Structure 1
Amino acid sequence: MTISESQESTATTAPGTGSRAAGVALMFGSGLSNQVGAAVAALAFPVIGPTGVVAIRQWVAAAALLSAGRPRLRSFTAAQWRPVLGLAVVFATMNLALYTAIERIGLGLAVTLEFLGPLTVALIGSRRRTDLVCALAAAAAVVELTAPQPSTDYLGIGLALLSAVCWGCYILLNRTVGRRLPGLGGLAASAAVSGLVYVPVGALVLWNHPPTAGALGCALAAGVLSSAVPFLSDLLALRRVPAHYFGIFMSVNPVLAALVGTVVLDQHLDGASWLAVGVIVTANAVVGATSRTAGG
């Protein structure tokens, strides 16, 4: 999720070569892989918890991005390191908040609330009437999703919203990193720092909660499915479709998350929740499309 967003935010155009259909297939595969990875990660929660899974995922992401980006860390200036370190903190916090939210409130609801982050960033400063309508519709959908009930997990909802805030900050910081460090060097450095931060954290968690072979396999699979596969798929997709199509297509992720949560984790949303998910997905897509049309 985060890797695909960074690719979309730094890309401006897509070459005219290649198949548009192949690009759509790659984008769909990226989103599906991301959500299946999150669901597989949840299977390891009972053994090593969200923190242990996130630590392993961060290590996998760092290895994948360092291999692809090959940043020259010794050449970074202080002005370049500042946003890189900020991005690393946001990256680590976002994934931990999201995975803990998934454990508490389910995959579909957690991912849907997280998508308020990019929606908010897209709406900031907008004065278009269409965007105002989308903002109000999304707000109403959030009210429906978080309506107080005897079983409402407010901490889980709060963590999902924290993940949304982190995603918004991630987008803004990534733009700064992209300006100061062209290419993948800045993102790779951020992933490396985040992975280093999780070394003592992950070591402590895994020492106190020794992973079984199954839990370790799930955590590693989550790292590959939610980091390495989307990263490669997004790079290939952006060669075939315009970047703004990529951003709009990302809006389907909450639907994929809800479907995967139902099939893999047996987490079922009621009809009203499905409608709210649809409203938030539509708001994201419409805002993304109109912002490009208006030159935003």
Structure 2
Amino acid sequence: MTTVEDLIEPRRAERDGFHGSLPISIATMLFSGTSSQVGAAVGAQAFGAIGPAGVVGVRQLVAAAVLLPIARPPMHRFTWRQWWPTLALGVVFAVMNLGLYTAIDRIGLGLAVTLEFLGPLSVALARSRTRLDAACAVLAGAGVVVLVAPGPSSDWLGIGAGLLGALCWAAYILLNAEVGARLPGLQAPAAASTVAVILYLPVLITLAVNEKFTLAAFAVAAAAGLGSSAVPYACDLMMLRRVPAQFFGVFMSVQPVLASVVGIVLLGELLGAREWAGVVMVIAANAITTTRSYTRARNAQAGTGISR
């Protein structure tokens, strides 16, 4: 049952640093990231039949179908204070996923997710409070640059789509933290997914009328919806009630690593020495930040203050 304490958890996370078990929070974020990248790789298999927009539309449909019966948000009773971040989050869902899937289609999973990571990195930089935290964010950003290494032959449309996804991911983090303070449980992602489905109805209807939906394509896109939408949306909302947005943003630097591994295993996208160098830089920044955050949380819980 949701209590008043649950409703104020996002603000408490911002003020005190962390709420609850940090190891469990880290494990949940890793699970969310892995689910998201596996779902993206699976969804890419349906690009040939229904395109990135079709996969995103089915993803959102599945997410809404899973989350609505669980959360049962009373949308007819939402106030404008609850509706505006929910509507904004729904638009972000729609645009973020389209940007990512377009980038995956053109430049591959690892590079697309690496570009998208610039979003949470910007959140980390904007909210950094110490020089070492800022240095870790810069190190992660340098790793991203090494991984991307754009040149004259780069697919700029694909890179632009990835950057659009990055902008939306930053908004996703901030809006999730905001809407989590105004709606209990999973009501926010359930309602926002419904908004995204409405935005994609023209795409879904067009594909259905033109008989583009094969059983295989729909099944693959639906699996992507479970792995990349329903599971991460729920996990991320819960984590943004337990950890500060800055920590969440920097910890998500693991996403390019997960994407690279999933790309190798499921899509055969092998990485060279330069790409792996970037991966190591991202891992190092993530490890330092996670260790420092864990130390600060333990000190705060012990009543000794937050370590600087």
Mark yes or no: TM-score above 0.5: yes
Decide whether aligned partners of structure 1 residues 166 and 281 sit closer, same or farther in structure 2, where only a CA change above 3 A counts. Answer: farther
Preserved CA contact (<8 Å) 1:102 1:110: yes
The match for 2:202 is 200
Matched AA of 1:183:
G
Match for residue 89 of structure 1?
91
Partner of 2:267: 265
Check conservation: 1:51, 1:96, Cα contact below 8 A. Answer: yes
Maintained 8 Å contact 2:254/2:286: no
Query: What SS does the corresponding residue of 2:40 show, helix, strand or coil?
Result: helix
Residue type of the partner of 1:196?
I
Alignment of structure 1 residues 1-296 onto 2, 5 Å:
13-14=19-20, 28-208=30-210, 210-230=212-232, 243=243, 247=248, 250-287=252-289, 290=292, 293=296, 294=306
Q: Aligned Cα RMSD in Å?
A: 3.2
**Percent identical residues:** 52
Change (3 A) 1:233 1:81: closer
Q: Which moved more, 1:277-286 or 1:108-117?
A: 277-286
SS at match of 2:163: helix
CA distance in structure 1 between the partners assigned to 2:252 and 2:151 by the alignment: 30
Mapped contact 2:37–2:259 kept (Cα < 8 A): yes
TM-score, normalised to structure 2, is: 0.78
Alpha-carbon distance, 1:107 to partner = 0.7
3-state SS of paired residue (2:181): helix
Q: Is the 8 A contact 1:34 1:226 kept in 2?
A: yes
Letter in 2 for 1:112: T
Find the aligned partners of 1:64 and 1:218 in 2 and give their Cα distance: 16
Paired residues, what number?
280
1:209 Cα deviation from its structure 2 partner: 6.1
Contact 1:47/1:209 (<8 A) preserved = no
Q: Scaled by the length of structure 1, what TM-score is found?
A: 0.81
Is the 8 Å Cα contact of residues 122 and 287 (structure 1) preserved in structure 2? no
Counterpart residue number, 2:6: none
Instruction: Tell whether the 8 Å contact from 1:119 to 1:287 is kept in structure 2 after alignment.
Output: no
- SS of 1:124's equivalent in the other structure is helix
Larger mean Cα displacement after TM superposition, 103-112 or 141-150: 141-150
| Structure 2 Cα separation of the partners of residues 232 and 147 of structure 1 | 33
1:38-96 CA distances to partner (integer Å, 9 max, x unpaired)?
A: 11100110111100000000001111221222111111112221111111111111011
C-alpha contact (below 8 Å) 2:114/2:147 kept by paired residues = no
Residue 280 of structure 1 deviates from its aligned partner by 2.8
Aligned partners of 1:84 and 1:200: how far apart in 2? 21
Give deviations 1:149-184, integer Å, cap 9, x for gaps. Answer: 353112211211211111111111122212222332
Residue 112 of structure 1 contacts residue 277 of structure 1 at CA under 8 Å; is this kept in 2?
no
Deviates further, 180-189 or 168-177: 180-189
